[in-house]
Amino acid sequence: MQASADTLAFLRDVRVFESFSDPDLAVVVERLRERDLRRRQVLFREGDGGDEMFIVRRGTMLISKAVTGKVEQVLVRVEPFDFFGEMSLFDGSPRSATAQAETDVELLVLGRDSLQAMTETAPHAAAAFFYAMVQVFMERLRRSTQQVAEATRWGLEATGLDVEAR
Amino acid sequence: MPRPAPAKVELLVRRDAEEDFELRQVASVIGYLNSRPRRIDPDSYEISELRSRVALAPGFILKNKTTDRFLLLSAQERFLWDQMDGATSLQEIATAYVLQYGEFDFEIIPSLLRKLQRAQLLTFEPRSRLRAVLARNRGRMIVKAIELALTGLERIRISTHNVQSFFQALYRFGGFLLFTPVAAIACGALAVVGAGAALMLFRDVHDMLEGFGGHALRGILTVKLVFFASVALHQFVHGLACIHFRRRVREFGFTFLHGFVPTFYIDVTDIFMASRRARVITAVTGALVHAVLGAVAFIVAAEAQAGSFTQAFAAASGIIQWQALVVALYPFCFIEMDGYHVLVDVLGVPTLKSDAIAYVKGLLTGGGRAGRGSEELLWIAYVVLSTLSVAAFIAFNAWIIFSATH
């Protein structure tokens, strides 16, 4: 009971659940699973199948994408109150990046079935969830665009290429 | 508008263990320092000296024959242009500049690169000549396999940048003793005793190497492996010398040079901010590790039972350590080791090897560049001595292997 109360209090500060009422949040809490990862444990790899999203409750997750050989580019660090893995939750596509624990991590897991059930039993909550999710997607899209520009700047600086030259 | 900080990418490099990894932040400036600008093909440009009655220093006119674009270069820029051979990194070019002019202008290299790129006089070719040859013959299966293997090995690089505190501690807890007069005298005495032991052993080299018990090749490979560990020690002493002169050790690591030469390395380029004496001592002390280890090995071999494995192993180790000493300190062998760096530093000719090779190549093909009399003599001496030395080195090793197997 105490664990549920703690989770409820935690979810109030998670962006996609910010506008949820307490009864709606209680529905979500019922459908969440907890999962612990030890430091450096891989949660999933790029290309794996998946239909769950994860909310970081404690610790830090690294999301990275293969670049070459054993080298991956770190795309983002996911800190407490933030979430990842939602792309596969919606479209069922293979994981687009690898998720690995940088520290010991506690996660909350929301599966596609649970999301489906929430949509049916608490449509108002589901609508709020999807609206918040769209906002997050837009933010992440802007961040990706910024990352592409930054990677291009890195390449130009590393080669000393003078593109202003005629 | 303030200039933005250099861009960085954060990379996760996986280790052999399933979940183990290392995180590295790579700033664009690191890529820049490691880039290797290359002049366009020699047939595509011309350079001529422009003497002025007013200006003391000569200028140079550089012409791109394909685009008919001209550039005016100062003597310093001409010097940098000569370094841009596709094999020398910008960091090495900057080092050569400091050695040549005794100072560094932080804007001169980027500004020259911009000018050269605009005039289409420059390309960037990061790979070695071997890799360029392999790339040209990529159509053949075996070449492709070698190229893939080299690429794989080249990616192996274990290094750490946080070494300054480690070397400082090493210096504090005993490393400083290496830089005392007592250590120098002990090193000299040990070398003399070791040389005596080596001369004594030399008379019975055949009996001695029989201690490998018919497994000479395996024995020699083991000796090489032990030698490999001493290379790490060699680099450690370079690091301690750098600390001794209160400069910074920037990196220590292991990699495969050109994809096939396993080697330890240390970045002590900060020593270029110290005096010439400091640079020479830093270069020489690393190599003296081989003098000490070789002497100890010869003494052990002389004391060991004749024909035993211990004697054979110690004697072979002594030979290889002293060979390493000679290769490291002897400047005339086409390899830019410690002795070469000392020589070019003392003579003030940082581009000796490339100039000498280009000059002799020109003499042989009839298109040689002109130099001053003393310069030409130095170039010829360098190439002749290096050629003879390499031949002698190969002959000596062939003789050792022949003696061990017959």
* Domain ranges for chain B: 1-126, 158-405
Confidence (pTM): 0.51
Interface test with A, best of B15, B21, B153, B157 (most A CBs within 10 A): B21
How many angstroms separate the CA atoms of B191 and B33, rounded?
Answer: 40
- Residue B32 in contact with partner chain A when CB distance is under 8 A: yes
Q: Report whether pLDDT(A159) > 80.
A: no
Q: Which of B9, B93, B116 to mutate to test the interface with A (most CBs of A within 10 A)?
A: B9
pLDDT of residue A1: 46
Distance, in Å, from the CA atom of A93 to the CA atom of B22, rounded to the nearest integer, reads 28
Task: Give SS3 for B51.
Answer: coil
Confidence bin at A22 (pLDDT 50/70/90): confident
Contact state of A40 with B19 under an 8 Å Cβ cutoff: yes
A15 DSSP 8-state letter:
G
Chain-chain contact of A154 with B31 (C-beta, under 8 angstroms): yes
Give chain A's largest Cα–Cα span.
70
Residue A36 has pLDDT above 90, yes or no: yes
pLDDT at residue number B370 = 60
Give the Cα-Cα-Cα angle B109, B99, B171 (nearest 5 degrees): 110
- So what's the pLDDT on residue B156? 65
Express each pLDDT in A64-110 by its tens digit: 998 877 889 899 999 999 999 988 888 888 898 999 999 999 999 99
Q: Distance (Å, rounded) from C-alpha A29 to C-alpha B194? A: 78
Length of chain A: 166
For the stretch B288-335, pLDDT in tens is 999 999 999 999 988 888 777 788 888 888 888 898 898 888 888 888
> What pLDDT shows up at residue B349?
72
- Provide DSSP, B80-114: HHHH-BSSS-HHHHHHHHHHHHSS--TTHHHHHHH
Low-confidence ranges of chain B (pLDDT < 70): 1-4, 16-17, 50-57, 124-138, 151, 153-157, 159, 161, 204-217, 257-260, 350, 367-372, 404-406
**Would you state the pLDDT for residue B126?**
47
Higher-confidence residue of B405 and A134: namely A134
Tell me which of A154, A156, A161 to substitute to probe the interface with B (most B C-beta atoms closer than 10 Å).
A154
The complex's ipTM works out to: 0.80
Count other Cβ atoms within 10 Å, centred on residue B70: 11
pLDDT score recorded for residue B94:
86
Put simply, the answer to whether B7 touches A40 (Cβ < 8 Å) is no
Give the model confidence (pLDDT) of B132-163 as tens digits: 666 666 677 777 777 777 767 666 667 676 78
Largest Cα–Cα distance of chain B, in whole Å? 77
pLDDT for res B125: 53
Smallest CA–CA distance, residue B77 to chain A, in Å, is: 17
Per the CB < 8 Å rule, is B118 touching A150? no
Instruction: Please tell me if residue A134 touches chain B, with a CB cutoff of 8 Å.
Output: no
Helix (H) or strand (E) holding B300: helix B276-303
Q: Report the topology of domain A33-113.
A: Jelly Rolls (2.60.120)
